[in-house]
Structure 1
Amino acid sequence: MNSTVWIVDNYEEALAKNLVIVSLGLIINFINGMLVVTFFSNPMFSRDSRYILYIHLVINDMVYICLSVTLYVLTYVSPLVNSSLCCVLVVLGSTTFMITPLNLAGMSIERFIAICKPLHHAQICTPQRTYIFICLLWVIGTIPSLADIIILLLIQPISFFSSLVLCYPFSLFPSKAHKDRTTASQVIYMSLVWIILIYTYCRVLFTARKSVSKGSANKAQKTILLHGVQLLLCMLSYITPVLDMFLAPFFPVHRTKITFLNYLITNIMPRLLSPLIYGVRDQKFLKQ
């Protein structure tokens, strides 16, 4: 998450930016909330691993939006936050951010099994195993954030956790060890997710070419492609600091506008894709 504000905006500009971010966050969470209600109001969805993984992605995005928007607003309303509270917010935000690509990989694997191993799908992708997989996602997604906290405990005195800090990751975790950990985990996690997406897409593509009935296979192809697009948008947040540093010297007066647009495009807008991928495209959801 990148919620950094480097230059103080005037009151009108700060108010406008916060209204845009908060309004978009509320709209996205309202749409996603309707999907959550639809899921839990129909037992059919809770028996299908595909929809269980999807609704987990939606709920995860809702939590991420709440945390991300809260951190963004805090940079204006109260830039200095108790470091312990900031740790909780940043760790939860970083974990939910990391879980999104992992969940997309899981959804692609489920589609791969459904299309390429249809006779085994019911045995492999049971609701119980899906919930175990989701728990595993949270364990894996939490590891990098827990590593950050452990490093922080090793290099900072206990008094640090009662001090005030600027509440964003690069301020809370500024050491070289944190930066190395961040780079390593991002490379490992994203490489793994991309390998899974590319492999499942290619296998579904080959199956579609051999299949007499190409409808479901082609739809699975498009779904995995959309997962790839969503993952690309999520990965844009990794280059946001680089874009900020690159563009700032050319447009020093508009630096906060650049930061705002980068945050909007890389952190908020990708969360609109989740309801579009299934909520709009999926006939079962539309009928409900």
Structure 2
Amino acid sequence: MVSVDLSMSMSYANQSQYLGLLERVSSSIVTTVPCCVFLFINGTLLFTLRSKPVFCATPRYILLFNLLFADTVQMALSQLMYVIASCRILLTYPVCGFLNMLGYLTNEISPLTLVVMCLERFVAVCYPLRHAAIITVRNTGGAIFLVWVFSSLNVLTRVILLIISPFQDLQMKDVCSITAMFLYPVSAVYDKAYTCFLFVSAGLVITSSYIGVMIAARSASTDKASVRKARNTLLLHLVQLGLCLSSTVQNSLLLAISQIVTRIEIMRIQVFFYLCMVLLPRCLSALIYGLRDQTIRPVLMYNLCFRLKCSVAPAKANCRD
């Protein structure tokens, strides 16, 4: 009787391990496929923004390139770390720390660039006569440089906190994650404080820009179509910022939900959160500007369908011959 119970328990254990492995494989496929699609679209838009002189000489498109570059790197890095965690691959603390610091850098560039882009739209609507003098290519390059410097200083602070952390062994005992690197209590406190400061400040700037645009819309001399477009863009940027902020509370939500659901269910919820809070905000820039901007859209669609057109054109030529 004992041997029967033992064999049944082993069978249940094997079945549970098989289901867990199957769930990890399926979740990796479900997240990798859309990620590859988004990376292709983002990469094509990055190429598009460097394919025409008008894109390289317009401050708005220069800012978009910086935002899209950070989002693309962050998306690829997030998917890499997700696959590593799903495969239960244990890294060393230096390697995990490097991946996390690179993720911090690109993750913080996005909201800061959104702030600069919103200020550019604010100046374009509220001070149209001074827009060309204020928003120049040189000033835009300086703003992007400050964004990278500010983000790099924050990453440097985090690196210092990691160096003074009490590492007993270079090999990690758990999968690589941000929380796994918080070996020193000050690191977690600093992370929460800086994240709150960053997103609250960015939210206030974007909201203030939106209010300024709405006030300018009451002026009779203001271009109503331009105001409406700028207002919609600012709203979309505010949604982007909210989705980026939601990714910072993802682990806390999963920890709270894990107390009331099964392990398989929490893995499915984690996949859903990952798609909505991590991948989706990183592809919104391509959707906002790639589909709405009348200058970018035809060039982007041409580049996305470039190979198809190349393959169709000879066929038509052959038919004519």
User: TM-score under structure 2 normalisation?
Assistant: 0.83
CA distance in 1 between partners of 2:259 and 2:20 (Å): 21
Larger RCO of the pair (alpha carbons < 8 Å, separation 6+)? 1
Contact 2:31 2:271 in 1 (8 A): no
Pairing 1:48–2:48 present: no
Pairing 1:198–2:197 present: no
Matched with 1:164 is 172
User: TM-score under structure 1 normalisation?
Assistant: 0.92
Counterpart code for 2:144: I
Pairing 1:260–2:271 present: yes
CA distance in 2 between partners of 1:275 and 1:76 (Å): 28
Percent identical among aligned pairs is 31
Counterpart code for 2:282: R
Residue among 164, 187, 193 paired with 1:184 = 193
Matched with 1:4 is none
Contact 1:208 1:214 in 2 (8 A): yes
SS at match of 1:275: helix
The 5 A counterparts of 1:213-232 are: 213-232=223-242
Query: CA 1:95/1:211 → structure 2, altered by over 3 Å: closer, same or farther?
Result: farther
CA distance in 2 between partners of 1:225 and 1:211 (Å): 23
SS at match of 1:99: helix
Contact 2:236 2:288 in 1 (8 A): yes
Matched with 1:18 is 28
Deviation at 1:156, TM superposition (A): 2.7
Deviation at 1:78, TM superposition (A): 4.5
Residue among 274, 296, 300 paired with 1:285 = 296
Which 5+ residue runs of structure 1 have no aligned equivalent?
A: 1-6
Residue among 130, 146, 152 paired with 1:136 = 146
SS at match of 1:155: coil
Runs of 4+ in 1 over 4 A off after TM superposition: none
Pairing 1:175–2:184 present: yes
Deviation at 1:30, TM superposition (A): 0.5
Deviation at 1:266, TM superposition (A): 0.8
Contact 1:144 1:182 in 2 (8 A): no
SS at match of 2:91: strand
Which 5+ residue runs of structure 2 have no aligned equivalent?
A: 1-15, 300-321
**TM-superposition CA deviations, 1:58-114 (whole Å, max 9, x none):** 111110011100100111235310211111110011111111111111100000111
Contact 2:24 2:87 in 1 (8 A): no
**TM-superposition CA deviations, 1:209-248 (whole Å, max 9, x none):** 1134211011101100100011111111122122112211
CA distance in 2 between partners of 1:211 and 1:64 (Å): 43
The 5 A counterparts of 1:21-36 are: 21-36=31-46
* Number of aligned residue pairs: 280
